[in-house]
Structure 1
Amino acid sequence: MIYYGHTKEDLLTKHVLPQEQWQLLKEHLYEVAYLSEQRATKFGAGKLGRIIGLAHDIGKYSNQFQKRLEGSSQKVDHATAGAQEIRQRLGKVIGHALAFAIAGHHGGLPDGNKGDPKNLPERLDKKDIPTYQAFKREIEFPVLHNRDLESMPQAKDSTMRTFSFSFCIRMLYSCLVDADYLDTERFMNPEKFGARTGKTSLSMIFQRLEKKLENVAKRSQKNPSIINSERQKILERCLEMAESKPGLFTLTVPTGGGKTYSSLAFGLKHAVKYNKDRIIYVIPYTSIIEQNAQVFRDALEDGSLNDSVVLEHHSNFEYPEGSFDDWDKHEKAHRLAAENWEMPVVVTTAVQFFESLYANKGSRCRKLHNMTNSVIIMDEAQMIPIEYMKPCLWAMTELVLNYGATVVLCTATQPAVNNMIPGNLKPVEIMENPCELQTIFKRVTVHYGNEMSDEELAAAMVETTQVLTIVNTRRHARLLFDKVQEKTGDGIYHLSARMCPAHRKLVLAEIREALQAGQSCRVVSTQLIEAGVDVDFPTVYRAAAGIDSIAQAAGRCNREGRRTEGNVIVFNPEAHGMPTKGRFSAVAGLTRSTARRLQEFDGELLSLAAIEDYFQQLFDLEKNNLDMHGILRMIDEGQHDLAFPFATVAREFQLIDSATIPVIVPWDKQAQRIMEETENHPFPASRVRSLQPYVVQVYQHELIALRQAGVIKTVGEFMNFLIDLSFYDERFGLKDAKEVKAPTEVLMF
């Protein structure tokens, strides 16, 4: 009897082709085994990768599954067979561990405790699976020797033993599911498989960056300043330290010190020297990933070659199946690389990065093996959510200790995390003297003030020609903007995440032009402006917040050092200016505590000593919440009978409590034109990237309210179009449904 792994369809008609064109099961298993072994070899587990590749589909050797391929409607569980076979062959430790990956290669890594039919123990005890023993005529499993396990990841101390074991299972799972996806795609859709990009070498990419940095240095020489000189020294120090052996690094550079280019230069030179596979640049905010990715593309990609070097991957859109066909070659390569991060430089968000590390679904885990032997740059490391601080640090530590990764924690306000890093791993600071840098880059004086009403704050802003005020809530921003507008109509601007990126970009351009020309420029903004936005004000007001936020605000004040000194005034806002949810009040209180003891820190609220004091207070206050959802505890408790709760951990590890949904707004004529084209396009998802400048993220309840108002139209099954212009304000952006009385102008696409 001939056993098949997959049928084959005509891609145009969707009709099943004759059996002689189907994929032989033996061919599929040996190809997946090869690809899985290739991936797992990177972390010393190649033989195990081969075994799970051979075993994952042996359940398809049953007569029932072959009939399923021929058109039977009976569902057949084919994954359990391989899990049971390997558990029986390799025993209760190695066999049981590999059974997780095999059993979950379609549905996701299961929980390892008893109690649910989907969990691994029940799967391993399942009796009613079809006979699959015919596999023995075609598949030969390699013999596993002790020497095959000698190079595998090993816990570096006793506290990490269980964590390291479960992490290795997750990595093996990543190797298997990526291999399975790729071989299936190669057979089913050769054209799609062929669209996967070739790889530009990191040495070539580094040469391009060096040319870019030479041009930057030349421009700086034409405009000499202390700041430009120090930025060059920071860059040179990063290039020098890139020779250091792989490990965990910190890069403590003041805001405005050019750490984006410098950290990238460190990463690329280090990767070339130590033959790393890729750079993974992790950014805390979705709102700035596009601008950072563009900076990297400008520096690293060669337009004449039209090569794909930089992958920008975040969660603004999830592409539905079948939306691939009408993309151009470049976009196809980009989208395919997003599935497994097979690209030299990946720019992603902290949410995407960390949630993938604790996910259990194949679609999220495919990329994990490509974190092996990489350089991971964690920008604004202080932004890692406190509730997940320990699990995030443990995952990064494991990547360094056992998977050949180099990790750089990059920030102006380095959090005091050394005591939380397991495995006796000690971070190396890249800068020789961060304290001296703080002094050199001191461009502002921070004044910790008292309470200020909106009326007082508006009056103070009107008295100042150029001023930025950063507040904690959108509501406060709008109320304050209205107050300022009552007093003057001259040069007032508003910024918040309710404005789409194209709108914000235009307003920021107007702001920069006014600042450059010395014109009136009074800006009221949410924290959005602290996220890598390059503006330079003489005076900044900041609503009470944590020291890290105040430092970011200070980075928007006297940024280029053109003035003798800038002023940052921290104030306590009215009640509506301090969110009740989260820990806004708590961190503001800790900042006040540090501010009251400024004499201990040479009178500087933003000195490294004061910052360390703040974070020590914060982590002491939150010591019971550093792993609020008990992720590490659940994994550790799973050591008994290897009952690792993979599915439960994936559900609990959600960096953002309330997921947001993108709404596309018809902000200008170009947006309206692209929206109309998208609606009439046979493959609307192909227009997704063109629409990203017009996206506003909303919470589920906000989307429901907008739908109830009849102003949302769903296009391509997953894109939400705003079709009523009255719901988008030219100053404030997307309105809440309750703000609009009735539709005025409905756009017909």
Structure 2
Amino acid sequence: MIYYGHTKENLLTKEILPKAEWQLLKDHLNEVARLSEERAAKFGAEKLGKIIGLAHDLGKYSNQFQQRLDGSSQKVDHATAGAQEVYQRFGKTIGRALAFTIAGHHGGLPDGNRGDPKNLPERLEKKDIPNYQAYAKEIEIPTLCSQDLVNMPNTKNAAMRAFSFSFCIRMLYSCLVDADYLDTERCMNPEKFQTRPAKVSLLTLFQRLGKKLEKLNERTRQNPSPINSARQNILTRCLKMAEAEPGLFTLTVPTGGGKTYSSLAFGLKHAVKYNKDRLIYVIPYTSIIEQNAEVFREALEDDLQNDSVVLEHHSNFEYPDESFDDWDQKEKAHRLAAENWDMPVVVTTAVQFFESLYANKGARCRKLHNMVNSVIILDEAQMMPVEYMKPCLWALAELVLNYGVTVVLCTATQPAVNNLIPGNLKPLEIMDNPRELQKVFKRVTVQYSGEMTDEELAEAMAEKLQVLTIVNTRRHAQLLFNKLQQKTAEGTYHLSARMCPVHRKIVLAEIRQALKDGRECRVVSTQLIEAGVDVDFPAVYRSEAGIDSIAQAAGRCNREGRIAEGHVVVFKPEKHGMPEKGRFSAVAGIARSTMRQVEKFDGELLSLKAIEYYFQQLFELEKDHLDLQGILRMIEEGRDNLAFPFATIGNEFQLIDSTTIPVVIPWDEHAETLMEEAEHHPFPASKARLLQPYVVQVYQHELAALVKENVIKSIGGFMNFLSDRSFYDRQFGLKDAKEVKAPTEVLLY
């Protein structure tokens, strides 16, 4: 009897092709084993990778499964067979670990405790498995000896034993599902498989970056200033420290110190020296990932070569498979690389990065093995959410200790996390004297003014020629802006995330020009402007927040050192200016406490000593909430019987508790044209990336209210178009529908 792994269809007509075109099961298993072995070899587990590749589809050797390929409607559980086979062969430790990966290669890593038919113990005891023993005529499962395991990850610390074991299971799972996806794609859709991007070496990228840096250096020589010289020194230091042994690093550079290029230079040079596979740049905000990715593309991509080397991966849109054929060649390569991060430079969000490390579904986990032997740079590392601080740090430590990863925590306000990092791992600071560096970049004084009403704030702003005020909520921004306009309408601007990127870009261009020309320029903004937006005001007002946010606000003040000293005023807002949700009041209180003791810190609120004190107080206050969902506890509790609750953890580890949904705004004629093309296109997702500059993210309850108002048109089942222009204000952006009543004030950037 001939055993098949997959049928094959005509991609245009969807008709099943003759059996001569189908994929032989033995060919599929051998190729998945080869690919899985190749991936697992990166962390010394190649033999295990080969075994799970060979065993994952053993259940397809049953007559029932072959009949299903012939058209039978009977469902067949083919994954459980392979899981039982490896468990019986390799025992309750190695066998059970491998069984997790095989049992979950379609539905996701299961929970390892008893209690549900989908859980691993019940799967391993399942009796009604169709006979699959015919596999023995075509497939030989290798044996294992101790030598096969000698180079595998092993715990460096007794407290991490369970965590390291569960992490290794995830990595093996990643190797298997990526190999399975790729071989299935190669068989079913060869054209798609061939579209995957060609490799470009990191050495080539480092050489390209060198040319870009030389241009920047020349500009510095032509425009000498203490700030520009300091930025050049930071870059030089980063290039020197890139020679250091792989491990965990911190890069403490003041806001405005040019850390984007400097950290990129460190990462690429370090990757070349130590033969790393890729550079992964993790950014806290979706709102700035596009601009950072564009900076990297400009520095690293060669237009003449027409190569794709920078993957920008976030989740503004999910793309249905059927849309693929209509994409151009470069977009196809980009989208395919997003599935498993198979590009030399990846720019992604903290949400995408950390949630993938704790996910249990194949689609999210495919990329994990491509984090191995990489350089990972976390920009604005202080933005790691407090509720998940420990799980995030443990995952980073495990990558460093066992998977050949170099991690750089990059920020102006380094969180005091040394005591939270497991495995006796101590970070090495890249800068030789961060305290002195802070003095060089000191361009502002920070003072606390106490309570300020909107009336007082608007009056103070009106008296200044150029001023920026940053508040914590959209509602406060609108109320303050309206007050300001009553006093002076000339040169007033508003910014918030309810404005689509194209709209914000236009307003920011006007703001920058007004600042450059010395004209009136008074801006009211939400925290959005702190997220990497390059503006330079002589005076900034900042509503109470954490010291990290105050430092970001200070980075928008006297940024280029054009005046002797800029002024940052921190104020306590009216009640509507302080979000009720989350720990916002608590962190503002710790910042107030730090301000009251500022003389302890040489009178400098933004000194490294003050920042360290602030984070120590924050982590002490939140010590019982640094792993709010008990992720590490759940893993430790599953230690004895390898009862790791992978599915439960995948559901619980959600950095953003309310998922946002993109709404496309008909901002201009170009947007309207793209929207119309998408609406009448057989594959509307082909326009999704082109529409990203016109997207506003909203919460589910906000979208539901807009739908109820009949102002949302759903396209392709996954894109939401605003159909009524009156719901978009040219000043404030997307309006709330009348029915929207959020349970609490929502903090939006």
Shared fold per TM-score greater than 0.5 = yes
2:339 equivalent in structure 1: 339
Shift of 1:669: 1.3
Q: Deviations over 1:120-162 (max 9, x none)?
A: 0000000001000000000001121100101000010100000
Structure 1 residues 516 and 739, CA gap change in structure 2 (3 angstroms) = farther
Aligned equivalents of 1:738 and 1:443: distance in 2? 45
1:747 equivalent in structure 2: none
Shift of 1:668: 1.2
Aligned equivalents of 1:719 and 1:546: distance in 2? 36
1:509 equivalent in structure 2: 509
1:745 equivalent in structure 2: none
Aligned equivalents of 1:20 and 1:495: distance in 2? 61
1:15 equivalent in structure 2: 15
Aligned equivalents of 1:387 and 1:739: distance in 2? 31
1:265 equivalent in structure 2: 265
1:723 equivalent in structure 2: 723
1:678 equivalent in structure 2: 678
Aligned equivalents of 2:425 and 2:596: distance in 1? 34
**Aligned pair 1:230/2:230, yes or no?**
yes
2:302 equivalent in structure 1: 302
The correspondence of residues 47-126 of structure 1 with structure 2, limited to 5 A, is 47-126=47-126
2:499 equivalent in structure 1: 499
1:488 equivalent in structure 2: 488
Shift of 1:391: 0.1
Retained in 1: the 8 A contact 2:239–2:266? yes
Aligned equivalents of 1:232 and 1:434: distance in 2? 15
Retained in 1: the 8 A contact 2:472–2:579? yes
Aligned equivalents of 1:617 and 1:491: distance in 2? 41
1:621 equivalent in structure 2: 621
TM-score of the superposed pair, with normalisation by structure 1: 0.98
Retained in 1: the 8 A contact 2:109–2:360? yes
Q: Deviations over 1:682-736 (max 9, x none)?
A: 2110111100000000000000000000010011210000000000000100000
Q: Deviations over 1:14-73 (max 9, x none)?
A: 000011110000000000000000000000000000000000000000000000000000
SS in 2 for 1:263: helix
Retained in 1: the 8 A contact 2:638–2:644? yes
SS in 1 for 2:181: helix
Aligned equivalents of 2:253 and 2:479: distance in 1? 35
SS in 2 for 1:27: helix
Which residue identity is paired with 2:114? K
The correspondence of residues 413-424 of structure 1 with structure 2, limited to 5 A, is 413-424=413-424
Aligned equivalents of 2:739 and 2:582: distance in 1? 26
Q: Deviations over 1:235-273 (max 9, x none)?
A: 000000000010000000000000000000000000000
Aligned equivalents of 1:624 and 1:315: distance in 2? 31
Which residue identity is paired with 1:138? E
Which residue identity is paired with 1:316? N
**Aligned pair 1:399/2:399, yes or no?**
yes
Shift of 1:681: 1.6
The correspondence of residues 599-678 of structure 1 with structure 2, limited to 5 A, is 599-678=599-678
Which residue identity is paired with 1:33? A
Aligned equivalents of 2:511 and 2:682: distance in 1? 40
Shift of 1:220: 1.3
Shift of 1:640: 2.1
SS in 1 for 2:446: strand
Which residue identity is paired with 1:71? G
Q: Deviations over 1:499-520 (max 9, x none)?
A: 0001001100000000000000
1:209 equivalent in structure 2: 209
Aligned equivalents of 1:111 and 1:239: distance in 2? 45
Q: Deviations over 1:215-238 (max 9, x none)?
A: 011111111100000000000000
Aligned equivalents of 1:300 and 1:560: distance in 2? 26
SS in 1 for 2:304: coil
2:745 equivalent in structure 1: none
Which residue identity is paired with 1:690? L
SS in 1 for 2:585: helix
1:190 equivalent in structure 2: 190
2:468 equivalent in structure 1: 468
1:558 equivalent in structure 2: 558
1:743 equivalent in structure 2: none
Aligned equivalents of 1:463 and 1:669: distance in 2? 39
2:390 equivalent in structure 1: 390
Retained in 1: the 8 A contact 2:36–2:175? yes
Q: Deviations over 1:631-662 (max 9, x none)?
A: 00000001121100000000100000100000
SS in 2 for 1:311: strand
Aligned equivalents of 2:306 and 2:669: distance in 1? 29
SS in 2 for 1:448: strand
The correspondence of residues 247-262 of structure 1 with structure 2, limited to 5 A, is 247-262=247-262
1:450 equivalent in structure 2: 450
Which residue identity is paired with 1:244? A
Aligned equivalents of 2:315 and 2:688: distance in 1? 12
2:36 equivalent in structure 1: 36
1:244 equivalent in structure 2: 244
2:693 equivalent in structure 1: 693
Further displaced range: 320-329 or 71-80: 320-329
Which residue identity is paired with 2:274? Y
Which residue identity is paired with 1:675? M
2:743 equivalent in structure 1: none
SS in 2 for 1:623: coil
Q: Deviations over 1:376-415 (max 9, x none)?
A: 0000000000000000000000000000000000000000
Q: Deviations over 1:305-343 (max 9, x none)?
A: 110000000011111121100100000000000000000
Aligned equivalents of 1:133 and 1:498: distance in 2? 60
Aligned equivalents of 2:431 and 2:34: distance in 1? 43
**Aligned pair 1:576/2:593, yes or no?**
no
2:2 equivalent in structure 1: 2
SS in 2 for 1:640: coil
Aligned equivalents of 1:277 and 1:455: distance in 2? 56
Aligned equivalents of 2:210 and 2:145: distance in 1? 47
Aligned equivalents of 1:279 and 1:576: distance in 2? 42
Shift of 1:739: 8.7
SS in 2 for 1:696: strand
2:746 equivalent in structure 1: none
Which residue identity is paired with 2:400? V
Which residue identity is paired with 2:254? P
Retained in 1: the 8 A contact 2:727–2:734? yes
2:127 equivalent in structure 1: 127
Aligned equivalents of 1:737 and 1:419: distance in 2? 46
Structure 2 residues not aligned, in runs of 5+: 741-749
Q: Deviations over 1:514-534 (max 9, x none)?
A: 000000000000000000000
RMSD: 0.7
1:714 equivalent in structure 2: 714
Structure 1 residues not aligned, in runs of 5+: 741-749
Which residue identity is paired with 1:285? Y
Retained in 1: the 8 A contact 2:705–2:739? no
Shift of 1:598: 1.0
Aligned equivalents of 1:271 and 1:321: distance in 2? 34
Aligned equivalents of 2:375 and 2:38: distance in 1? 20
Aligned equivalents of 1:312 and 1:640: distance in 2? 40
1:744 equivalent in structure 2: none
Further displaced range: 138-147 or 247-256: 138-147
